A and B are shown apart, each in its own frame.
Chain A
Amino acid sequence: MELKPGSRWRSAVCDTEVVLVRPPSAAASLECGGQPMAPHGAERPAGLAVSADHAGGSLMGKRYVDAESGLEALCTKPGAGSLSLDGRPLTMKEAKKLPSSD
């Protein structure tokens, strides 16, 4: 899977969609609900379900990061599965909400 900045991915097991903000330092597999994510336009494969170990869910508008590889992904549609990279759970970036300035 080519994790380029600006590329869009959808979960194979739930409604989650993400946009890749920052690529990982080395090739890796981006997953949601325990299953590799598919390119944005792809059909959702049948018969797969959210794994119990990756069922924390994703939240709209939040950014998720993997400290080890530097990957950052932005959730553009929330879902029941949680995000991981090569099995490592991504952590939500607790960004302080900045006051609107424009």
Chain B
Amino acid sequence: MHTALLLEMAADAFPDRAALGARDAAVSFAELQARARAGAAWLASLGEGSVVWLGLNGPALPAAVFASGALGRPFAPLNYRSPDEDLRKLAARTAPSVAIADDDMLPRISGIPGVVAVARSAFEAACLDPAHRAAEPPGADPDIAVLLFTSGTTGEPKAAVLRHRHLAAYVISTVEFMGAEEGEAALVSVPPYHIAGVSAVLTGLYGGRRVVHLPAFTPEAWVETSAREEITHAMLVPTMLGRVLDVLEARGEGLPHLQSLSYGGGRMPTSVIERALRLLPHVNFVNAYGLTETSSTISVLGPKDHRVAIASDDPDVRRRLGSVGRPLPGLELEIRGPAGEVLGPGEVGEVHVRGEQVAGEYLGRSLLDADGWFPTKDQGWLDAEGYLFVEGRLDDVIVRGGENISPGEIEDVLRAHPQVADVAVVGAPDDQWGERVAAFVVARGEAPTPEALSDWVRERLRSTKTPESYDFREDLPYNETGKLLRRVLKQELAARASTSGAAA
């Protein structure tokens, strides 16, 4: 199965339906198909290899995704926020390639051997050029659909490989073809180099929902575009949702057209989702958990789950608000221990997943085991009803005197403290214990004392999980898709430990 087929089907079934863009100037499915074919013909004339995307969101993005698909070439979106040096290193890894760059970003990617850099405006013009639209683009066998460089929060970015069959399986098994109601519109504000930015294009169009792109996220623009475009569906990462709620609260606005809001891509603080449910009572909330390597979502906590959890007095049910729901039908999910043994309900281990959408591959290296299981490197557990709780990356686990401590659990407890706005817990080097628990706290109002916070944690968790140091900060380091950069905090602690060691 080929992702280009998804657009072909939609364009055949509903050529005139609005596929992309503003309500009063929407691009139809037939027009998008024509642009993608013309774009493919033009790209093929420029050079061989991957199609790199360096730019903001917009209607040209889906055209480029489907054009590369039609050519059988990998689509490789790059992070335009990377420093030039890193960006050029990544771009060099895509050679041979043709790179489409926003006009103002073109110089950043020009002059790299094996990379033909072209302006986005030239691509857009080619998509409308009658000569290219008349050309029959060279066909190709489907292979790699997308190459996504992981955010590299722990080291050198890896190129995750998603093949056409993985993405097509994900789309077909999770979305009903043209199942959207007339007038539905999805706002995509995650950047193109995030898996959700790619999958949103595919699932939105296949479902028949008009896709509206926010060129780049700001909470004000998100709220204004939602109102103007009568957006019914959207996806946000947790930090974005918090900022959107701030704007709504400050302006005293609701979002009357919004029906469904999904969130994912990081841990959602319970306080934020509770506030969202309160401010937007008419909206269906969906918590989606997935990884780049699994073609996006593998587990969802649906609207009904949210309502049942928040209304329940049963602590086991209520805590599901902090879960990522249940695995998608057709996917298999297991929690395994260090020796590979399958663990039972309530036991914490590594999340493993298997299914047709699971790629589990980096360029040149598959991580799937002989039976097709993908170890996610996420730590989690299932409750008795099969709800999945994800505690964070295994790499982030703090090992204190042989005990494995998950920072996520401690962060959740601290975040519930009335004087804590945000918090990060990491392992600090410790001569006696190997690592000790260190907390970075953003205070809400007056800063709490370390003693008060330690008491708070000790009352709720074991004493070994109580942080042994607190640093108070104005804010914490996040990347723009909402991932906490623990590495930055750990480096800081390590640097401090070596300085104090030298002084002593």
Contact = CB atoms under 8 A, between A and B. Distances in A.
Contacts of B177: 60-61, 74-76
A21 interface: yes
B196 A102 contact: yes
B1 A21 contact: yes
B199 interface: yes
B179 A102 contact: no
Interface stretch (A46-54, A81-89, A92-100): A92-100
Nearest to B303: A99
B415 interface: no
Contacts of A96: 329
B299 to A, nearest CB: 9
A70 interface: no
* Most chain A Cβ neighbours within 10 Å, of B176, B233, B296: B176
Question: Which secondary structure characterizes the binding site on chain A?
Answer: loop
Interface string B272-298: 000000000000101010100000110
A102 B200 contact: yes
A25 interface: no
B260 A99 contact: yes
A100 B186 contact: yes
Contact of B286 (A17, A21, A74, A101): A101
A60 B179 CA distance: 9
Nearest to A72: B172
A21 B296 contact: no
B297 A102 contact: yes
B9 A60 contact: no
B13 A76 contact: yes
19 contacts: A6-B1, A6-B5, A6-B168, A60-B178, A61-B177, A61-B178, A62-B176, A77-B13, A97-B176, A97-B179, A98-B300, A99-B300, A100-B203, A100-B260, A100-B262, A101-B174, A101-B262, A101-B286, A101-B290
Interface of B: 1-2, 5, 9, 12-13, 142, 165, 168, 172, 174-179, 186, 196, 199-200, 202-204, 207, 209, 233, 235, 260, 262, 264, 284, 286, 288, 290, 296-297, 300, 302-303, 328-329
Interface of A: 5-6, 8, 17, 19, 21, 60-63, 74-77, 95-102
